[in-house]
Structure 1
């Protein structure tokens, strides 16, 4: 079974009395994203081919937290600068220099 587009939704709810977060999602990408955060006993539904398409249950708040973050929008120049910085960090780790600050040019 597959949910039709107009039936797909994700609802995350916080109950102030119990202090628990619950989630219900029939949108496959969200169901798969939050599957690891589900507490024991959550209900899951799969397609015939084994793809997770629905979850319903409490979130394991001991290991996860719910937050909304603003997306970072970078210019092309910022992307290039960050990419170069990451390349240098990876290179430094490969050479055993992790944790050492690079000399300023």
Structure 2
């Protein structure tokens, strides 16, 4: 069963007593991102991943929406990249 996009979420909690991060997510990109980092998995289905991050995980939990650039901004970025490549 596919979860509607409006109901997809990721909850990340740090448990001080355990000293580990717990993740519960129904957002497919986060399921793919964090699955390799999981230690003890409480629940894993196609639509949900819940469990504890392993001690070996050295990644980041920072997530942000991708910037949407205007055509003018894209052109400026292209010009800057060309200038760097020429140097």
TM-score normalised per structure 1: 0.57
**1:23 matched to which residue of 2?**
23
Unaligned runs of 5+ in 2: 67-75
**Post-superposition shift, 1:81?**
4.9
TM-score normalised per structure 2: 0.67
- Does the 8 Å CA contact 2:22/2:52 hold for their aligned counterparts? yes
How many pairs were matched up? 78
Root-mean-square deviation (CA), in Å? 2.9
Runs of 4+ in 1 over 4 A off after TM superposition: none
**Counterpart-to-counterpart distance in 2, 1:38 and 1:77:** 41
Higher Rg of the two aligned structures:
1
Q: Whose strand fraction is larger, Structure 1's or Structure 2's?
A: 2
**Counterpart-to-counterpart distance in 1, 2:26 and 2:35:** 12
**1:60 matched to which residue of 2?**
54
**SS of residue in 2 equivalent to 1:35:** helix
- Does the 8 Å CA contact 1:44/1:55 hold for their aligned counterparts? yes
**Post-superposition shift, 1:42?**
3.6
